[in-house]
Every structure is written in structure tokens, then in C-alpha cells.
Amino acid sequence: MQSIIEGFAAAFRLIVTLNPELWRIILLSLEVSGTALMLATVLGLPVGAFLALRRAPLRGLVISLLNTGMGLPPVAAGLFLYLFLSRSGPLGFIGLLYTPTAMIVAQCILAFPIVASLSHAAIANVDPVIRQAAITLGATPIQESLAVVKEARYSIMAGVMAGLGRVMAEVGAIIIVGGNIAGYTRVMTTTIALETDKGNFELAIALGIILLTISFSITVALRFFQRLGQGGTSGN
Amino acid sequence: MGLELEIIHVFRSYNGNPILRDCSFAFAGGRTYVLQGPNGSGKSTLFRTLALLEKSDSGRVEYRDGGRILAADLALRRRITLVLPRTGIFNTTVFKNVAYGLKIRGVSRAEIEARVNDALLAVGLGHKKWQRASELSSGETKRLGIARAMVINPEVFMLDEPTANIDSANTAIIEDIILKMRQDRQAIILMITHDPAQAQRLGDDLLLMQDGKIIPA
Amino acid sequence: MARILLITSLIGSLFMAANVAAATRIRCASTTSTQNSGLFEYLLPIFEKKTGIKVDVVAVGTGAAIEIGKRGDADVVMVHAKDLELKAVEEGAFVNRHDLMYNDFVIIGPANDPLRIRGMKSVADAFKKIPAQGAEFVSRGDKSGTHTKELAIWKTAGLDPKGQKWYLEVGQGMEKTQRLANEKRAYTLTDRGTWLATRDKDKLEMMVVLEGDPVLFNQYGVMAVNPAKHQQVKYKEAMAFVDWLISPEGQKAIGDFKDQHGNQLFIPNAK
């Protein structure tokens, strides 16, 4: 018990004194996960929108695949990506393994199904009267689709937040493709794993506190967007 | 002269049930038509077909300008509008709702500002410009729907039950707007209502929906 | 005249060499225990300052480190499993292997040493005592250098501990293994560096019960990934690293490295 309390006290000291190593790790975590989410949204939102707005033939199959993808175990994704990116693998010539870019790719793979699937649900749930209203006001087919997507924007944001929460919390994929290299590919989750293994609870607890705070903020943001999304068009 | 509208031998069925049965009518420019009929008689279906929102099974809807038949393309669709009974307001501000039609036509910001303000003033929602449209009462929502449609200066203005389920104060405001538009004689106005007194007040020509056809009342 | 030209061109090429070498990164696969000792945090800045080459260390178990080298995902490998290293060189996966430094392994056990191993000279004999007298042994079980050494000792002792209920394979790093042995009041094989670094920090109620047997000698080696096998490895820079490590300067740096208690953890022995 004593060591836990000491650990917390030391952790607070690290946080408050703006320990540079701590903050570099935090910054890298935000960069990697943030970039991964942006990419996942750029790719996933159009896919979700396309599935919701066009009655494409393989729609049901694709949606099932996406839903399965949402539950993809991060460590499995990491393993397969590792085999691809290894210099002995098909994409080895790019030389991405053990770089932050590989981590971004891994997390993008994890977040993509979440963003695509939740965007699809959000857009498909928009009242059909919105699309009709846009048409009666003279929208082109593209403008029509944009109006529907815009209508779902809060629920889409909630989906993006869900994806962000998922990737900020994971460690399995990025530790395999990132290699947990000091000062280069070490992020909050992988450092917590490492330092706990080493028995360096100070840094681990400090990062744990911050990670929980960030997780909590993401959850609050998600809730905020969900509520905005619900208070949308009524049937008037 | 303005647009002329004619519906010619239109048939339309839903799930095997015939709704419009050999429906034909010619609407003259500058006049206001009020359509009544029992629920399920096909009034809304007719309007959606006229608004080019839906296609008929057979027959055609013809828009003419100076005698020339117009193609049913985007250009034509942008000259007509239909205010839906459920309105379908967007989850954004009142201002942005009304601005939508102008924004998608590429109108300049300055002009949008001016025209939207005028439309909001006309429906009495100027003071709620920056509120979220979802916060409006049902009467205000209907007025917003009308402002949104008015602002694009349509040559055929269709309204499906514009005063259903709202109080008399809001109804009065909406009827005033329609009367003003009717006086201008610029557009063809088509309106659906269940209120015979309202039909008398607002319409030049009173129509009835019967057996899937339009007949004069 | 000629001498001035020579000196200027020498300085010029040194400048260019420094600029070209700047912002170059190579990857070194090594073991968790080496990483956790803090050796790299001490050595690499010295090397980088001298050559401008940044070394990224991926720390895994010995087996994985060699595998990473074989796959060409690292440019240089530093582990402490000489038999495995030489075998991999024979297979053609690596070139230019050199002995680098050594530390030793020790047997640690509970502070009261119920098996009375203290004072024994032969580690194989000590190992025989463990099942014979009902104690437990915790193994890393992760193909690391430590694990490889441990298995060799069991073989010498003529015992096969796999699957026996007194033999706990944890598949973890050295520190975790020690802490587990502490919890279980068991014996385990560890490297002196990790032991010295963690004994007080982890509050281990254990002590060194056997040391000095030549079998416990832990030789570290460094080798470059064979560029013939993988074209993209940065062979030149990898060799710069290897050559520096075995140079008098690198060897001195290794010897100068001390843990936070002031203990020298590695003894340089490159030839």
C-alpha cells in the first residue's frame, strides 16, 4: 500500500513539474492516435455515407464485414501488419516497420471499421424527409447527399470519438509494429506496459492518470455529441 | 407569363393500390389552386409527382415556358418547390435553414444575407435568426419551412397542409403570406388543406381529389 | 602547396561526411535486460555525437531479436547467446560477429536459503538439489539469453524440468521473473546487472546463493545483418556502430557505464 501511495505522489510530481520525457510520450500518443483517426475518418466516412445513401448490391455483406472489423483484436491486427511491413514481407521495401507511421497505419486499420460503421448507422438513421426537403429546394444529387450527411454530423462525430477512444486505449497493435523504441515509438500505453514490467511505477502511474483523464474527456465529448445528435430534427 | 403546369393521364400505384388514376389537369400561370379531399385520396402523392420528387407509373407532368415544353432537369426543379407536411428542417440555425436554397444555387453571401432577412421578416421569425431550428414551436417550424421555400422565388409554389396542427395565430400569419403571394400573381400556387373555410379564403380555384382524379369543387 | 590542399580536402570531406551522416537512423535489435540496464541510454548519445547516426533500439527477447535480424527488420543485433549467434552467422544471416562484453549470471534464492545452496561451487549440482529437496524454480521461458543459459545448465545436470510442477515458466522479462520468484520463495537464474539494479527497488527478500561458476559467464556479442540477404539494411552505418563498439573508445565507454548504485554492469572484452 505504501509503495502505491509513494508511486502516486511521485507521479504527481512528474506531471506538475512538466517532466519533458513524460510530455514527449503524451504528445506522441496524441499525434499517432489523432492522425490515425483523421485518416480513418477521411476513408471511413465516405464509405459509410456511400453504403447508407446508395443501395449498393453487396451492402449487407460490407456492413457485416465492418461490424466484424469493429471487434478486431488489436494485437492480431498488429501481428498481420507486422508480417506485411517486415522487410521480409511484401511491403517491406517501404521501410515502415518500427516507425510512428507504422503505428498510425495500425491504428487507422483499427479505427476505420468503427468510423465507417457508425457513420453508416448515423446517416441511415437520418429522417428521409431531410433528403426530400433538400430535393424540393433544388439540390443536385451531390448536394442532396451532403445535406443528409450534414444532418448526421453530430452522430458521426460521436462515432469518430468512439474510434479515438478505442485507439488511444490500445497497446497490442502499436507495440508490435512500433517496437516501443525509446524516444521514437513509445506512447502512453506502451510505456505503461514497459515501466510496469520494470517495476518503475512512478512513470507508469503518471501516464496512467493522464491516460485515464484523456479517456474520460473523450467519453464526455462522445456523450456531448450524442446528445446534440439526438436533439435534431423532430417530425415537424 | 411565367410557368405553366399540366398533368396528363398520370397513373400511380403504391404496393398494388392505385392512387392516381388517369389524373389530368392544366394549371394556369399566376393562379392559386386549393385542393381538398379525404385522407388517403392521393393529394400528397399528386403534389410529390408534380414537384418531380416521384415518378408516375405512366402519363406525364409537363412544364411549359412560353409554350415550349421544358425538360425535367435541375434547372426546372430549381424553379419550383414543395413545402412538405413534415417540413424537414435541418438541424442547424434558423438562418442557415432559410439560406440553404440560396447557398446551393451559389448566391453571394451579401445577397443571401439580404434575402434571408427579408424572408424571415415576412414570416415573423427575424428575432430568432440565430436560434437552433429544432427549438422552434410547431407553428414557427411551419413558418420556417415556408420562408425557406419563399426565399428562392419559386415560379410554382406547392404547399402540403401548411397550417395543419397549429394554432390560429400561426395559421393567420401563414395565410397572410399566401394571400400576399397570390396578390403578386407571379407564381402558380398549389395548396392542400382540410379546412374548407381556409380554401375559400385563399384559393382562386377550388379543387377536389376524387377517385384518383382532380375535379373542380 | 600540396600539404595545404591535402589538409583542406581532408577537412572538407570530414565536413561532408558529417553532413551526410546526419539524420541517419539504424535499428539495433537487442534484449530487454540490456535495454533495462540503461546501457543504451548511456552509450548511444556518445555514438550519435561522434557519428551523427541515431540508433533505434527494439528490445525484445534474444530469440526474437535474432529473428528480427534474420528478417532484415534491424541493421545490427546485440544479444547474449553466443551459440545462437554463431549458428545464425553460419546460416548466413549475419556477418562480422564480435565478442563485445560480458557480465555474469548468478543464482538467487530466498534470503534464508532453505536448500543451503550457499557455498556451493557447481551450478549444475545446485540445480540438481532443487527438485530433489522440494523447492521451486522460476524460469523466464522466453528464449532469452538467460533462458538459453539456464536450459544448458539443466542439460548438464541431466534433468528435464519441462512440465514439472516445481518448474514455473513465466515467459516474461528478467525483472518480472525475479519478482515472481520472490513471491514464491523460489530460486531463479538472473544476470548480476538486473539483480543489482532491482534488488532494492523491488524490495526483493532474496540473496545471491551461487556465483563464480565459469558456466555462468554471460558473453554478449554484436553482429551486423548480412547485406547480401537484405539489400535495404544500412550496412555501412551498422558497421560504423559495430566498429565503434569494439574500438578502444567504445570498450572504454562500456566499462565506464555504471548503474544508479555505482556498479559496473558490463566488462568489455572485445578482441
Same domain, C72 and C85: yes
pLDDT, residue C4, reads 57
Mean pLDDT lowest for which of A99-113, A213-227, B98-112? Answer: A213-227
* Percent of residues, chain B, with pLDDT higher than 70: 100
Give chain B's domain count: 1
Residue A1 pLDDT level (bands cut at 50, 70, 90):
low
Same domain, C97 and C230: yes
pLDDT, residue B37, reads 94
Domains of chain A: 2-229 (1.10.3720.10)
pLDDT, residue B110, reads 96
H/E stretch holding C105: strand C94-110
Model pLDDT for residues A131-179, shown as the tens digit of each residue: 999 999 999 999 999 999 999 999 999 999 999 999 999 999 999 999 8
pLDDT, residue A235, reads 39
Pairing of strands B156-160, B80-83: parallel
Cβ–Cβ < 8 Å for C219, C169:
no
Rounded Cα gap, residues C58 and C28, in angstroms: 6
First to last CA, chain B: 26
The grid coordinates of residue A225 equal 455529441
Is residue B217, in this structure, part of any structural domain at all? no
pLDDT, residue A233, reads 45
Domain that holds residue C147: 104-216
CB contact under 8 A, A87 and C72: yes
Residue A8 has, within 13 A of its CA and on its CB side, a CA count of 5
pTM > 0.80: yes or no: no
In Å, how far is A46's CA from the nearest CA of chain B?
21
The grid coordinates of residue A9 equal 505522489
When pLDDT is averaged across residues A71-92 and rounded to a whole number, the result is 92
* Percent of residues, chain B, with pLDDT higher than 90: 92
Is residue B9, in this structure, part of any structural domain at all? yes
pLDDT, residue C108, reads 94
Rounded Cα gap, residues B196 and B200, in angstroms: 6
Residue in B74, B91, B100 nearest the CB of A232: B91
Rounded Cα gap, residues B45 and B84, in angstroms: 11
pLDDT, residue C41, reads 94
Which sign, positive or negative, has the C-alpha torsion B141, B142, B144, B145?
Answer: positive
Q: How many residue contacts between A and B have a Cβ separation below 8 Å?
A: 71
User: A2 touching C, CB under 8 A?
Assistant: no
Same domain, C72 and C19: yes
CATH number for the domain including B98?
3.40.50.300
When pLDDT is averaged across residues B20-33 and rounded to a whole number, the result is 93
User: A88 touching C, CB under 8 A?
Assistant: yes
Burial class (CB in 10 A: 0-12, 13-18, 19+), C259: middle
Residue of B nearest to A236 (CA): B86
Model pLDDT for residues B167-184, shown as the tens digit of each residue: 999 999 999 999 999 998
Residue in A136, A233, A236 nearest the CB of B53: A136
Is residue B101, in this structure, part of any structural domain at all? yes
Same domain, C111 and C45: no
Cα A143–A145–A147 angle (5° rounding)?
70
To the nearest 10°, report the CA torsion of B115, B118, B120, B125: 150
Q: Read off φ and ψ for residue C166, nearest 5 degrees.
A: -90, 0
> Nearest Cα to A24, choosing from A216, A203, A232, A179?
A203
| C-B interface (Cβ pairs under 8 Å ≥ 3) | no
Residue in C56, C71, C202 nearest the CB of A88: C71
pLDDT, residue C14, reads 56
Residue of B nearest to A137 (CA): B101
Cβ–Cβ < 8 Å for B149, B157:
yes
When pLDDT is averaged across residues B131-140 and rounded to a whole number, the result is 94
CA B21 to chain centre: 22
Distances (CA, A) of C64 to A150, B18, C67, C69: 49, 73, 5, 9
Is residue B62, in this structure, part of any structural domain at all? yes
Coil/strand/helix, residue A183: coil
- Within 8 A by CB and 6+ apart from C123, the residues are C107, C153, C210, C213, C215, C216
pLDDT, residue C172, reads 76
Is residue B102, in this structure, part of any structural domain at all? yes
List chain C residues with pLDDT less than 50: 1, 15-22
When pLDDT is averaged across residues B17-26 and rounded to a whole number, the result is 94
Rounded Cα gap, residues C43 and C54, in angstroms: 11
Give chain C's domain count: 2
- Within 8 A by CB and 6+ apart from C133, the residues are C114, C115
3-state secondary structure string, chain B? CCEEEEEEEEEEEECCEEEEEEEEEEECCCCEEEEECCCCCCHHHHHHHHCCCCCCCEEEEEEEECCEECCCCHHHHCCEEEECCCCCCCCCEHHHHHHHHHHHCCCCHHHHHHHHHHHHHHHCCHHHCCCEHHHCCHHHHHHHHHHHHHCCCCCEEEEECCCCCCCHHHHHHHHHHHHHHHHHCCCEEEEECCCHHHHHHHCCEEEEEECCEEEEC
Model pLDDT for residues A35-69, shown as the tens digit of each residue: 999 999 999 999 999 999 987 788 899 999 999 99
Rounded Cα gap, residues A98 and C58, in angstroms: 8
Domain that holds residue B203: 3-211
pLDDT, residue C254, reads 95
pLDDT, residue A3, reads 67
Model pLDDT for residues A82-91, shown as the tens digit of each residue: 999 988 889 9
> Nearest Cα to B178, choosing from B207, B209, B208, B145?
B145
A182 or C53, greater pLDDT: C53
pLDDT, residue C9, reads 54
Is residue B216, in this structure, part of any structural domain at all? no
CATH number for the domain including C175?
3.40.190.10
Rounded Cα gap, residues C96 and C176, in angstroms: 33
* A124 has a pLDDT exceeding 60: yes
pLDDT, residue B9, reads 95
Is residue B167, in this structure, part of any structural domain at all? yes
**Residue given cell 456523450 in the structure block:** A223
Same domain, C202 and C162: yes
Mutation pick from B86, B115, B131, B166 vs chain A, by most beta carbons of A within 10 Å, is B86
CB contact under 8 A, A138 and B74: yes
pLDDT, residue A234, reads 42
Alpha helices of C157-271 — where are they, by DSSP H?
174-184, 192-198, 235-246, 248-256
Rounded Cα gap, residues B35 and B192, in angstroms: 5
* Amino acid, single-letter form, for residue B110: A
User: B86 touching A, CB under 8 A?
Assistant: yes
Residues of A in contact with B142 (CB under 8 A): 236
Residues of C in contact with A181 (CB under 8 A): 56-58
